[in-house]
Copies of this chain bind each other. A is one copy, B any other.
Amino acid sequence: MAQVKISIVGAGSAVFSLRLISDICKTKSLAGSFVTLMDVNETRLDDAYELAYQYARDMKADIQFEKTTDLEKAISDADFVINTALVGGHDFLENMRKIGEKHGYYRGIDTQEFNMVSDYYTLTNWNQLSFFLKIANMMEKLSPNAWLLQAANPVFEGTTLISRKSKIKMVGFCHGHYALNNIIDALNLEKEKIDWQVAGFNHAIWLTRFQYKGKDAYPILNEWIEKHPNGNPPKNPFDDQLSPAAIDIYHFYGKMPIGDTVRNSSWKYHYDLETKKKWYGEPWGGADSKLGWKWYEDKLNDITTLTSKSAELLRKNKNIKLSEALSANFSIIPADFANEVKNFYDPSTLSGEQHIPFIDAIVNDHSNRFIVNTLNNGVISGIPDDVAVEIPAIVDKDGIHPEEISPSLPERIVKWYLYPRMMRMEWALEAFEKRNPDLIIEILLRDPRTRSYEQAKAVVDDILSSPFNQEMKKH
């Protein structure tokens, strides 16, 4: 049993913070730990703190809290820093997207071949990449032995950048791989009898191993596809693991794309809303259409309203539980969150986020398997050592021990998908590191939406002069 200081940067995302807090409360071997919630948005921080504090009290957990808007305070003497902050928030993303669309870049210039996820900004959000480095630099001074758990996007660029530029220990996390469960459910398989691996980059992972009861399970998947040539209709914009796009990508690349990889395809699936609908289903056309992304932002807003109203209720009435405060406002949000709240109170069910089990594995040598983002160092052949890969690994007190990827990633995936994606990462990082907007223009010259040099230059000039982009304005 070890007492550690865990700091959550960007803790104003109340639900994400609650998930982590509930995991800490349920992990007895982390009892006595100290949690710092940090956010620059004081209102959202106060609300998140109120919820977390009440929840820990409900659970009678041995855990101490503080909240702060001061990054330095959060990082000082931390053992683990979990970064989930999106600098500028969704408003920033939408502003940049709007400028892009004005110049003919459907869904904005950050939307790129094999990088279509609508909040994964690699070109215009230098604020975000700067903030990643700021945290790492601060950690080197104020908590040099701490681990950074990188949850904020872009995880691929972020993990590569920080790992190259800093000596701190770090790992990147995403929950994309959980989408494998959708396949398991559809095929009616018993989860514990599956032997699986995924490998690739963040938002670019592939089901390289898929065995059921010791035998290749791909034939079962193929049979399902034969019976469901159009996949499954989506229940929400993110429900794409068995979409026509996923099946088509699988047929081209030879392995099933998992999680966000399905969204991160080529323009074939994304030219316009009609195309998106065809490949990701009606009515939204997937998460990254205007409709799908609105659905998601509305949900985020609803959660913020729920958080805020529930925090207000808790402040007024010190005698109610968090669950009561939340359920008083449940009308605001979709039913699945109500279910999650129930789970918060079930001591045997963790949230599914990997962060706290990872901390437990490191601190208490509770060895466990994770899907981590970490520098390749030879795990995926053909990919340079200093590029972050997303792979399965065993984690214990000695750190991260990547699994051997067997069978290895097919050449088709390495040469036609990972290489182009990796190059875009390298280009984006060089543009950022040299603070050179000409490199963004050059990237756009290789973009199918660009019709002329003048168009590419104009959109970059417009983004540079945006009052929202401090890092670019500095240049």
Contact = CB atoms under 8 A, between A and B. Distances in A.
Interface of A: 113, 252, 266-268, 271, 275, 415-416, 419-420, 423, 426-427, 430, 438, 442, 445-453
B415 A419 contact: no
A30 to B, nearest CB: 43
A157 to B, nearest CB: 15
Copies of the chain in the assembly: 2
Contacts of A416: 427, 442
A428 B136 CA distance: 42
Contacts of A266: 442, 445-446
17 contacts: A113-B446, A252-B438, A252-B442, A266-B442, A266-B445, A267-B445, A267-B450, A271-B452, A275-B452, A415-B426, A415-B430, A419-B419, A420-B446, A446-B448, A447-B448, A448-B448, A448-B449
Residue with the highest number of chain B CB atoms closer than 10 Å, among A252, A426, A445, A451? A445
A113 B447 CA distance: 11
A168 to B, nearest CB: 25
A166 to B, nearest CB: 20
B268 A453 contact: yes
A257 to B, nearest CB: 15
B427 A415 contact: yes
Contacts of A451: 271
Given A252-B438, A438-B252, A268 B419 contact: no
A416 B271 CA distance: 25
A423 B113 CA distance: 15
A442 B420 CA distance: 13
Nearest to A382: B384
3 nearest interchain CB pairs?
Answer: A448-B448, A268-B453, A268-B445
A415 B449 CA distance: 22
Given A267-B445, A271-B452, 12 more contacts: A113-B446, A266-B442, A267-B450, A271-B453, A275-B453, A415-B423, A415-B430, A419-B423, A423-B423, A446-B448, A447-B448, A448-B448
